[in-house]
Structure 1
Amino acid sequence: MRLHNRVFLLLGGTGGIGQAMVGPLVEAGARVIIASRHPEKLAHREGVSPVHLDLAAADLDGQLQRLSDAYPDIDGVIHCAGQNRFASLEHMTVAELDAQMTVNLRSAMLVARHFVPLFEKAGSGALVFVGSTFGSIGFPGYTAYCATKFGLRGFSEALRRELADTPVQVVYVAPRATATDMNPQAVNELNRALGNTMDAPEAVAAQILQAMEKDDQRRFLGWPEKLFVVLNGILPRMVDKAMLKQLPVIRRFLKPEALSGS
């Protein structure tokens, strides 16, 4: 996939991995349209256009239509927006469950539904979905997040196969734990207690761009996480046993007082 002279709509570009992708995309010769609920707060930058888009809005489909009318030259979409909360299911509110399903999965489906016919008509186009290792491995404390990321992985796989005889590319990249502001202190401490490596957003962004340039259909990041993905698919009981051993540590950080930082 070429990056030079391409126009990418970047969803989730105001923080974390998405924000780390902006500079490299511009340096590669791409124009970046950053979607945000508050585009007026984004600093001016050459090659970057902030636009309003609310991925959780009921009228997202209409917003996408207005956006593509204003920017008809968009020929790539990078979806790395996400909602998350580390908590046991019983402590999740309905609003928190809905937010994760809406932003992590529904918005990706509506974005693809809108742009696929435009890209097919144009004769080229790319959809890049940033998932997670937790889209392949269920992890305690992330039930809702895992459900939405499992869904995103399945959606992108089915969509890729549905579009296999078209010029539209579909790429899925699954990072492991990443050091972003989305992680509360308890999650950072949990990762340290379990010995989990946390990648810098810049390193993950570089891997995503590399996957795009090499026309990878899917890429899983990190070792041994990518091994666990394979094991979980063919020997899930082995991963069950490993998780059971970790569960006392995980439960310690799942306590409400640990999550509140008190």
Structure 2
Amino acid sequence: MRLHDRTFLLLGGTGGIGKALLDPLVRAGARVIVASRHPDTVEPRQGVSVVYLDLAAAELDHQLSHLSESHPEIDGVIHCAGQNRFARLPAMALSDLDAQLTVNLRSAMLVARHFVPRFEKARSGALVFVGSTFGSIGFPGYTAYCATKFGLRGFTEALRRELADTPVQVVYVAPRATATDMNSEQVSELNRALGNSVDTPELVASHILAAMENDDRRRFLGWPEKLFVVINGVLPRLVDKAMLKQLPIIRRFLSSGVLS
């Protein structure tokens, strides 16, 4: 995928992995349009502009139409926005569930639905989605998050195959644990207790750009996480047993409250 002289719409570009993508994209010669609910908090600079977009909005499709009309130069979209909450399922409020479904999955589907016809007509375009290892491995305390990321992985796979005879590229990148503000201190302590490796946003961003430049269809990050993804796909009982051994540690960090 060519990055130079290309214009990417970056969703989730105000923090974490998305923010870490900004400088490498600009250095590669791309122009970046950062979409945010709070555009005034992002400082425009050479190669970067900012627009308003609320991925959780009921009228997201209308916002996308307005954005697209204002920026016909967009020929690529990078979706790395996300919502998360580490908690037992009964402890999650409906708003927690809705937020994750809306931002992690619904917005990705609406963004693709909007841009696919435009990219097909232009005979060029790229859709890049940032998923998670938890889009392939169900993990206690992340039931809703896993559901949305499993859905995103399935969606991108189906969309890629639907567009296989077109010039539109669909890329899925699945990071492992990453040190972003989306993770609470509780989650950071859990990762330390389990001995999980945690990547920096900058490292993940470098892998996303590499996947784009190499025309990867999918890329899973981290070892042994990539191995666990394969094992979970063919011998899930082995992962069940490994998770069962970790469950007492995980439960120490899980919320025990129940919301009605």
- Conserved in 1, the CA contact under 8 Å of 2:88 and 2:256? no
Aligned length: 257
Structure 2: distance between partners of 1:181 and 1:73: 31
Structure 1: distance between partners of 2:239 and 2:195: 16
Correspondence for 1:71: 71
Structure 1: distance between partners of 2:168 and 2:33: 19
- The reply on whether 1:152 has 2:141 as its aligned counterpart is no
3-state DSSP class of the match of 2:188?
helix
Correspondence for 1:207: 207
Correspondence for 1:58: 58
- The reply on whether 1:233 has 2:233 as its aligned counterpart is yes
Quote the sequence identity (%).
Answer: 79
Structure 1: distance between partners of 2:81 and 2:156: 15
Structure 2: distance between partners of 1:6 and 1:44: 18
Give every structure 1 segment of 4 or more consecutive aligned residues whose post-TM-superposition deviation is greater than 4 Å: none
Structure 2: distance between partners of 1:50 and 1:88: 37
Correspondence for 2:188: 188
Residue identity opposite 1:82 in structure 2: G
Shift of 1:44: 2.3
5+ long unaligned stretches in structure 2: none
Correspondence for 1:165: 165
CA shift digits 1:24-67 (9 cap, x unpaired): 00010000000000101111211101000000000000000000
Structure 2: distance between partners of 1:193 and 1:90: 24
- The reply on whether 1:44 has 2:44 as its aligned counterpart is yes
Residue identity opposite 2:130 in structure 1: V
CA shift digits 1:223-248 (9 cap, x unpaired): 00000000000000000000000000
CA shift digits 1:162-214 (9 cap, x unpaired): 00000100000000000001110010000000010000000000000000000
Superposition CA RMSD, Å: 0.7
Structure 2: distance between partners of 1:255 and 1:26: 41
What is the TM-score when the length of structure 1 is the normalising length? Answer: 0.97
What is the TM-score when the length of structure 2 is the normalising length? Answer: 0.98
Structure 2: distance between partners of 1:256 and 1:32: 42
Please show how residues 1-262 of structure 1 align to structure 2 within 5 Å: 1-256=1-256
Shift of 1:256: 5.0
Structure 2: distance between partners of 1:216 and 1:97: 31
Residue identity opposite 1:228 in structure 2: F
3-state DSSP class of the match of 2:159?
helix
3-state DSSP class of the match of 2:77?
strand
3-state DSSP class of the match of 1:251?
helix
Structure 2: distance between partners of 1:36 and 1:200: 22
Structure 2: distance between partners of 1:22 and 1:65: 24
Structure 2: distance between partners of 1:116 and 1:43: 29
Correspondence for 1:260: none
Residue identity opposite 1:193 in structure 2: A
